[in-house]
Structure 1
Amino acid sequence: MSKQILFIHGSGNQHDPFGSGKLVAFLRQQLGSDYQVLAPDMPDADNPRYLPWRDQIEQELGKLDTDALVIGHSVGGSILLKYLAEGTYQKPIAGLFLVSAPYWERQGWQLEYAVPEDFAAHLPTIRHLFLYHSRDDEEVPFSSLGRYQEQLPQATVRVIDGKEHSFTEGLPLLAQDIKQL
């Protein structure tokens, strides 16, 4: 039986040239038949709103076996983390992988996407947590990684040289980390 991976894509159509779809395809190719990478289209992806994405994430997580692997890319990563911090999802997560996730401020329009100040205390059991971010990411500031790292000191941090955000050519470290679990 293959291990399930839920991939929550970033904003925009994941099938566009710079969407998350190429990273999903890379993972499917690298991981092979031992893994089932599920990458549902999120609602109104060009204009992501927290509540509809939260509801979709909750629905998708409900379909998974226990101890699933979950990947959140960009906005999808930050919304996924905020949902998990609400404390309603109680199943253990074998691996949580956040790729290029923005850290939103708790003010103004960003408040909709921001995690609560004490979010780490409300997360379900996550056996392995990984954070990936390009040093010169042109879409999400590198400082976002540091903000998450401060609050999630147990996370394995992977700093990627370059300015990749969408990882259209793949992210070998992510595939390697998944295989090593």
Structure 2
Amino acid sequence: MSRQILFIHGAGHKDQPSGSGKLISYLQKRLGNDYEVRAPDMPDPYHPTYQAWGDQIEQELGKLDADALLVGHSLGGSMLLKYLAQGTYQRPIAGLFLVSVPYWGKRDWELEYAVPDNFASRLPPIRHLFLYHSRSDEVVPFSSLRRYQEKLPQATVRVLDGKEHSFTEGLPLLAQDIKQSSSSV
């Protein structure tokens, strides 16, 4: 039986040129038949709302086996983390992999996506937590990684050289970390 991975894509349609689709395809190919990468189309991706995405995340998590592997890319990582911080999902998570995730501030329009200040204490048990961010990401500032690193000191942080955000050519470290994390379960 293959290991299930739930991948929540970033804003916009995942199959647009700078969308998450190429990273999703890369992961499925790199991980092989031992893994099933589930990447549902999220609701209204060009005008995302937390309520709609949170509801979809809840449905998708309900379809997974125990000890899920979760990947969130960009806004999808924000939405996934916020959902998990609501405290309603309490099943253990084998691995949470957050790629190029913005740390939202407190400006009015950002509040919808922002995690609560105490979000780290409200997360379900997570065996392996990884944060990936390019040093010169042109979409999400590198300072976002530092903010998450402060709040999640248990996370393994992968600082990547360059300015990649969507990782359209793939992210070998992510595939490697997924394999290593799932083999230690």
Range into which the TM-score falls when normalised by the shorter chain: over 0.9
Q: TM-score, length-normalised on structure 2?
A: 0.97
Aligned length: 181
2:147 aligned partner: 147
**Residue-by-residue CA offset, 1:53-84 (whole Å, 9 max, x unaligned):** 00000000000001010000000001100000
Aligned to 1:88: 88
Report the residue type matching 2:15 in the other structure.
H
Aligned equivalents of 1:17, 1:116: Cα separation in 2 = 32
Counterpart amino acid of residue 93 in structure 2? I
Q: What residue is the counterpart of 1:173 in the other structure?
A: 173
Corresponding residue SS for 2:111: helix
Q: Indicate whether 1:124 and 2:106 are aligned.
A: no
- The offset of 1:18, in angstroms, is 1.0
Deviation at 1:173, TM superposition (A): 0.3
> Could you say what secondary structure the match of 1:112 adopts?
coil
Q: CA deviation at 1:107?
A: 2.9
Aligned to 1:135: 135
Aligned AA (2:43): P
Shift in Å at residue 45 of structure 1? 0.3
The runs of 5 or more residues in structure 2 that have no matched partner are none
Distance 1:175 1:97 in 2: 10
In 2: Cα distance, 1:136 partner to 1:78 partner: 19
Q: Which amino acid aligns with 2:167?
A: F
Aligned to 2:16: 16
Q: Which whole-Å CA distance do the structure 2 matches of 1:119 and 1:107 have between them?
A: 18
Structure 1 distance, partners of 2:48, 2:122, is 24
Question: Secondary structure of the equivalent of 1:77?
Answer: helix
Per the alignment, residue 38 of structure 1 pairs with 38
Matched residues, percent identical?
A: 74
Alpha-carbon RMSD: 0.5
Distance in 1 (CA, whole Å) between partners of 2:69 and 2:80 is 13
Q: CA deviation at 1:106?
A: 2.3
Distance 2:166 2:47 in 1: 17
After TM superposition, the score normalised by the length of structure 1 is 0.99
Letter in 2 for 1:2: S
CA distance in 2, matches of 1:90, 1:59: 14
CA distance in 2, matches of 1:79, 1:33: 28
> Could you say what secondary structure the match of 1:11 adopts?
coil
Hey, what does 1:110 align to over in structure 2? 110
* C-alpha distance in structure 2 between counterparts of 1:118 and 1:41, whole Å: 29
Alignment partners' CA distance in 2, 1:39 and 1:112: 23
Superposed CA offset, 1:71-124 (max 9, x none)? 000000011000000000011000000000000012311000000000000000
